[in-house]
Amino acid sequence: MVTRFFYRVVFMTLSIFIVLSIVATLPVFAASANDLSADTSKVTQVFYRPLPNVPGKSVKGLLVEYPPGGSTPAHTHAASAFIYATVLEGAIRSKINDNPEQVYHAGENFVEEPGDHHRVSANASDTQPMRMLAVFVVDTNENNLTTLDGE
């Protein structure tokens, strides 16, 4: 009798926990799937090296990760930054300046010239994550690599 009661309490507690977990995460998924103004990216610097033959310039490698439906709002990069990006996993929707929006898949790459305006940067999938390596050639003393529109 006590065992049956214990199992019912455990079952009800787990059921409530699962329902609350699902309800709590719904707003996050809804916002990230359609709202390109929310920054859902994770950016990790994975490489840094001053260029010995180009005084004042360095190479910085950034691993950029978007969850399913994730994005970074419209932005620009440091004025000195030349960027070469390679998609490692998934696919990214990208619109630079007034060029047409494009989708780049794993193994494909694109560049951003100094002064470019990155109008769309979003995971092309609502079910799979996206990871890319962005390699910056930038002034060595530049620490602010990305500025969101309106900042």
Could you tell me the pTM of the whole model?
Answer: 0.73
* Number of neighbouring beta carbons within 10 Å of residue 129: 15
pLDDT by position in tens, the chain (length 151): 555 544 454 444 444 434 334 434 444 444 444 455 678 899 999 999 999 999 999 999 999 999 999 999 999 999 999 999 999 999 999 999 999 999 999 999 999 999 999 999 999 999 999 999 999 999 999 988 998 998 7
CB proximity list for 43: less than 8 A, separation 6 or greater: 62, 63, 64, 65, 146
With CA atoms as reference, report the closest residue to 82 among 41, 139, 122: 139
Domain coordinates in residue numbering, the chain: 42-148
With CA atoms as reference, report the closest residue to 66 among 138, 111, 122, 10: 122
> Residue 25 corresponds to which amino acid?
T
* Number of neighbouring beta carbons within 10 Å of residue 47: 13
Which pLDDT value is given to residue 98? 96
Q: Kindly report the CATH number that applies to the domain delimited by 42-148.
A: 2.60.120.10
Coil, helix or strand at residue 41: coil
